[in-house]
Chains A and B, each alone.
Chain A
Amino acid sequence: MSYGDFLAVHGTRFLSGAIITAEQTVLAAVLAVAIALVMGLMRLSGNVLIRGVSTVYIEIFRGTSLLVQLYWIFFVLPLFGIPLEKFTAGFAAVGMNLGAYGAEVVRGAIQSVPRGQYEAALALNMSPATRMRRIILPQALLIMLPPWGNLMIELLKGTALVSLISVADLMFEAKQINATTFLSIQAFGTALVIYYVMARFLITPFMRWLEVFMARKMGRA
């Protein structure tokens, strides 16, 4: 069986798997960005309790494995009366995990906005909320975009684990095709190449474009 025949037979399965992987990636990314913003801001709060909550969240999700978190969310949460669909559990686990890493990126970016910007906003009698929203966050955004590019690739790779709770993503389809055809190098090799293309030719250019777009929007380009 030539590789062309292999693709003709199994191409649609790779395609449907890649679509699920893309969906998981986008949903997990939205969740991760939301969690990262909230947790990153909470981490900088003056209130000990608020800061404590975000510290505990970040340390738990960065201190354990994504796979452990995924299994915990999928197998243990139902015991507490929170049954999650496997698809939801999948992107929720990935999003919550990367959100913790993102929170540290957000915190670092906010802290690296020059001190004078805070003082200027204070001198203009801005409320803390306005100061954060209008002055600090837009500048922090430019600083945090490059590390977010790396996180997005980690996120895409993280979604491969959802195959282990039987979400029919690209990894899952590759495993299924391997199990029926025993053509391992074709099955797993094709999946590897598709992941590579998604990371290198979709996510990376998109994040680069976003960096340029945002810089132009802030008048920095």
Chain B
Amino acid sequence: MFDWRWDFAFEIMPRLLWATLNTLLAAGIGYGIALVLGLVFALAQRTRFASLTFIVRELVEFIRSTPLVLQIFFVFYVGPQFGIRLSPWTSGMIAIGLHYAAYLSEVYRAGIESVPRGQWEACWALNLSAGRTYFRIIIPQALPASLPGMGNYMVGIFKDTPMLSVIGVTELMHTANALGSETYRFLEPYTLVGVIFLAISLPTAAGLRWFEAWVRRSLGMGR
């Protein structure tokens, strides 16, 4: 192509691949936080306390309707104003974890609501505690319905990690920016970043579809 230099592309490839590991690490930690916190958000909306439901509901709506990149800045800069210094990694993980927790809580909520009413009544009739009802009966059945959404947001969080570069997390985009400003060549770094993203997200998405089908089959739910 026009001005594409293969030697330069090969030269920067090792650095980009190392940065990819950071990107994957950030996505992994962020997703882990989101998975757990999302469940907390979802269950908090199902308690007897109407005010708690209201507060969590509004919080989820607020997080979902505002840009992630602004939330990342907010978490990173607001701490120091109160004397709490957070590293770029810590604040980035908090922001991205919270953001996706809000999305995942909606996925969980829909999954839990898809469990037939009779299952709840059966648990009640058997005098199961709330904990056992949720963790042994409801959540295992809600999971298959939630899997597609969970998978989508897993790929989504991976694709949103470049936003962490704005506060200086040395992931893929940050490294590409650095390479660009060191060498004044933007074509190869940015194109390679795009290619790396495609090379990871497309197979992951395909793998997730396969995994969903496998889970549904092994639970005897057919298709």
Proximity bits, A186-204, B CB within 8 Å = 1, else 0: 0011011001100110000
Interface centre among B68, B77, B80 (most CB of A within 10 A): B77
Residues of B within 8 A of A47 (CB): none
4 closest residue pairs by CB, A with B: A160-B67, A199-B65, A184-B77, A157-B67
Q: At the interface with chain A, which of B12-20, B30-38, B189-197?
A: B189-197
**Chain B residues with CB under 8 A of A191:** 70
Report Cα–Cα, A184/B83, bound state, in Å: 12
Number of A-B contacts (CB under 8 A): 116
- Cβ contacts A to B, 8 pairs, < 8 Å: A63-B205, A65-B197, A68-B194, A75-B186, A80-B2, A183-B81, A185-B78, A188-B78
Interface positions of A (Cβ within 8 A of B): 59-60, 63-69, 71-72, 75-76, 79-80, 153, 156-161, 163-164, 171, 174-175, 178, 182-185, 188-189, 191-192, 195-196, 199-200
Q: Which A residues touch B194, using CB under 8 A?
A: 60, 64, 68-69, 72
Once A75-B180, A189-B74, A192-B71 are accepted as A-B contacts, the answer to whether A157 and B186 lie under 8 Å apart by CB is no
Q: Which residues of B contact A160 (CB under 8 A)?
A: 67, 69-70
Q: Which of B120-128, B136-144, B159-167, B213-221 contacts A (4 or more CB under 8 A)?
A: B159-167
Contacts of B134 in A (CB 8 A): none
Closest A residue to B200 using CB positions: A63
- Contact of B198 with A60 in the complex, beta carbons under 8 Å: yes
* CB-defined contacts of B161 to chain A, threshold 8 Å: 65
Evaluate whether A79 and B187 lie within 8 angstroms (CB atoms) in the complex, with A188-B74, A196-B62, A196-B65 already known. yes
B150 at the interface (CB under 8 A from A): no
Q: How far is the CB of A183 from chain B (nearest CB, A)?
A: 8
Max count, chain B CB within 10 A of own CB: residue among A64, A66, A75: A64
Residue B173 is within 8 A (CB to CB) of chain A in the complex: yes
| Separation of A91 and B64 alpha carbons in the complex (Å) | 21
Question: Which B residues touch A159, using CB under 8 A?
Answer: 67
Chain B residues within an 8 Å CB radius of A71: 173, 176-177, 186, 190
A161 and B191 in contact (CB under 8 A), knowing A68-B197, A185-B78?
no
Which residue of B2, B70, B159 contacts A64 across the interface (Cβ within 8 Å)?
A: B159
Contact A67 B173 (CB under 8 A): yes
Residues of B that sit less than 8 Å from A by CB: 2-3, 61-62, 64-71, 73-74, 77-78, 80-81, 159-163, 165-166, 173, 176-177, 180, 186-187, 190-191, 193-194, 197-198, 201-202, 205
A209 to B77 Cα, complex, angstroms:
38
Contact B187 A76, beta carbon cutoff 8 Å = yes
- Find out whether the CB atom of B81 lies under 8 angstroms from the CB atom of A182: yes
Q: Which residues of the partner chain A approach B191 to less than 8 Å between Cβ atoms? A: 72, 76
Bound CA span A183–B80, Å: 10
* A192 pairs with B186, CB closer than 8 A: no
CB <8 Å contact, A157 and B68: yes
Name which residue of chain A comes closest to B68, CB basis: A157
Cα–Cα, bound, A183→B65 (Å) = 23
B73 adjacent to A199 (CB under 8 Å)? no
Shortest CB–CB separation between residue A139 and chain B, in angstroms? 25
Decide if B62 touches A184 in the complex (CB within 8 Å).
Answer: no
Known: A64-B197, A79-B187. A188 touches B173 (CB 8 A): no
Q: How far is the CB of B97 from chain A (nearest CB, A)?
A: 17
The CA of A188 and the CA of B68, in the complex, are separated in Å by 12
Name B198's closest neighbour in chain A (CB-CB). Answer: A63
Q: A64-B197, A67-B163, A75-B190 are in contact. Are A184 and B67 (CB under 8 A)?
A: no
Minimum CB–CB distance from A73 to chain B (whole Å) comes to 10
Please state if B69 and A171 are interface contacts (CB–CB under 8 Å). yes
- Asked if residues A79 and B2 are in contact (CB atoms below 8 Å), the reply is yes
Interface centre among A68, A79, A171 (most CB of B within 10 A): A68
Asked if B66 and A64 make an inter-chain contact with CB atoms under 8 angstroms apart, the answer reads no
